[in-house]
Amino acid sequence: MSHRVVVTGIGVLTPIGNNLKEFSDGLRSGRDGIAPVTHFDASKHRCQSAGELKNIDFSAHFNAEELPYLSRGSRMIRVAAAQALAASGLDLSVEDRSRIGVVLGTNLGGMPADKAGYAALHYPYRRGRAKPEEPWRARVLESFICAMSDQVACQYGLGGLSLVMSTACSAGLHALGVAMDAIRSGQSEVMLAGGVDPLSEMPQAGFGVLRSLASDKLRPFSKDRDGTLLGESASLWVLESEAHAKRRGARVLAELAGYGGSTDAYHMTRPDETGRGPARAMQAALTSAGMKPEQIGYIKAHGTGTPANDVIETRAIKQLFGERTQVPVSSIKAMVGHSLGASGATEAAAAVVALNDGFLPPTLHLDTPDPECDLDYVPHRSRPAALEAVLTNAFGFGGNNAAMVFRRWEG
């Protein structure tokens, strides 16, 4: 028996809002969250801008003894988890927590923000000292990506399935999909899932070396696009079986109707120019949902702003939806940056916001039409829309593709 899966809570921290309401307001207004980097000295990097969290005081969420021992990634995902659980109304004291699992997507985990952090962790050993100084000694385990799901599981005493997905930029969406499958199969009735990646100097340098970063602004689908810009975010979701949500009278945000994945099997960084891999992922998500392309009212695109990705994603959409499709498509990365392993889950939250709040998030900075990117990308400003079903994409290095379908919940 396959169980329907519903979303009952979403917590988010993003450069345009530190909860779901603020995030929705930022999307609707087309807020640009990209700004000069403050986490580390970016003056010698190829790019000095990124999407950082703003107006977030972690001391309001953690006590003074605990705070120094938590990496930025752990702080972010634990705050998002608290938001999601509060929004869901789930009372863990009456739940069988041995069957509630955690699945998170991340690429960086508890990675230190700058070179000084790496020095604090690793250099003492090279000097013959026994161990790093406190609190960095505790951060050694925090630097492992598996620590992200463990942080949430330990915080709430959750003894079910615990996994971390690390499939580059699709990790967060794959995490939601794996959690969905655990509920559909009957393994769990409740799962916590999502993604987190903090801004860090290493990927800022690495993407610069790959010449993947924009010279000034992130311009998805625009002819003059020249790269992406990094960001940071955390998104944690409460997913439940329909039966479990109904038993406790939960407010449902949306149905997680379908999920699909594929791999280009082509190149470690360059996507297959045909778009066949992303098209397969989207088709798999539709098949999983029992839906046809014409039932989708909006596509939240991966839309990185890199020359290759945007045209290939456009080709993939046309393969599935038809050359003359009128389905609106938009990318929110010009507002929040690319938060790598967290982006799939965070941007899926934008798709649910669009479904519930009745608008299409805009694609900022789309100033110059590209003949190869000729769909309706909702340029510059958000647009009112009554939606019944939406699709969200996340495509990662190595050709790791994920797609997901959400339906409006009618009860």
Kindly state the tokens that stand for 56.
Answer: 């977030």
How far is residue 90 CA from its own chain's centroid? 23
How far is residue 138 CA from its own chain's centroid? 27
Of 45, 174, 302, 365, the catalytic one is: 302
338 among known catalytic residues: yes
Rounded Cα distance, 78 and 222, in Å: 36
Of 169, 174, 244, 373, the catalytic one is: 169
Kindly state the tokens that stand for 142.
Answer: 């925090």
Burial of residue 60 (number of CB atoms within 10 Å: 0-12, 13-18, 19+):
exposed
DSSP element (H, E) containing 123? helix 115-126
Rounded Cα distance, 261 and 401, in Å: 5
Residue 130: φ, ψ to 5°: -75, -30
302 among known catalytic residues: yes
3 among known catalytic residues: no
- Cα atoms in the 13 Å half-sphere on the side-chain side of 132: 17
Rounded Cα distance, 100 and 241, in Å: 12
Of 3, 174, 338, 365, the catalytic one is: 338
Name the 3-class secondary structure at 380.
coil
Residues with catalytic annotation?
169, 302, 338
